[in-house]
Amino acid sequence: MVTLAEEIAATAARLVVDEDLDYAGAKRKALRALGRQGARQSELPSNEQVEDEVREYLALFCADTQPAELRELRELALPWMQRLAEFRPHLAGAVWRGTATRRSAIVLDLYCDDTKSTEIALINLGLDYDVGSRPDGHGGGIDVLSLAQRSRVLGDWVTVHLVIRDHDDLRGALKPDARGRSWRGDLAALRRLLDTAPHPAPAP
């Protein structure tokens, strides 16, 4: 018998892949779609459970395109991390975890305390960006600088989000998930991923 958590996870996974929602947003939308807005927190799937369903969905419906799209996004992230090395960039989100598709944004967590120093760096590079924020989970907000980069391989624009985090938050940010996998990785870790991963066939 399928549990409510499994049903929510499966529905949320489709939303993550098809609409590029984050896990929290996908779970909320899945609850509405299933008519279960009153579900208790204990009935909801963990992010790891949703990610498992995302991987299954990708294997079933995107296996011919997703590996090449993921590699391209990781290769696009590499020079951004090199340019922004002074801010201790760490790749996060679907591009790091290996579940990204062409719809996914590149998310780089920067540990620098000061949004302005990052903005100055972008201005010095001659880059246009938008300023926004996202909830920090504690009632506040985290500054986010967003840019767009053209991908020749994907034939489309890719969004790059620079998430400005507190300089002292890095230690906690490197804690693994419940299965021992990291939620983000630094430049050296990304290079290892690219060096050890097989080169997938180009997406048709």
- In the predicted model, what is the mean pLDDT of the chain? 90
Angle at 68 between CA 74 and CA 178, to 5 degrees: 60
Q: Cα–Cα distance between 146 and 143 in angstroms, integer?
A: 10
Whether the per-residue pLDDT at 24 is higher than 60: the answer is yes
The pLDDT confidence band at residue 6, using thresholds 50, 70 and 90, is: very high
The model's pTM: 0.89
Q: What is the CATH number of domain 66-196?
A: 3.30.460.10
**Residues β-bridged to residue 133:** 143
Q: Which amino acid makes up residue 64?
A: D
User: pLDDT tens digit string along 25-54?
Assistant: 999 999 999 988 778 888 899 999 999 999
Domain boundaries, the chain: 4-61, 66-196
pLDDT of residue 201: 63
Q: Cα–Cα distance between 58 and 49 in angstroms, integer?
A: 14
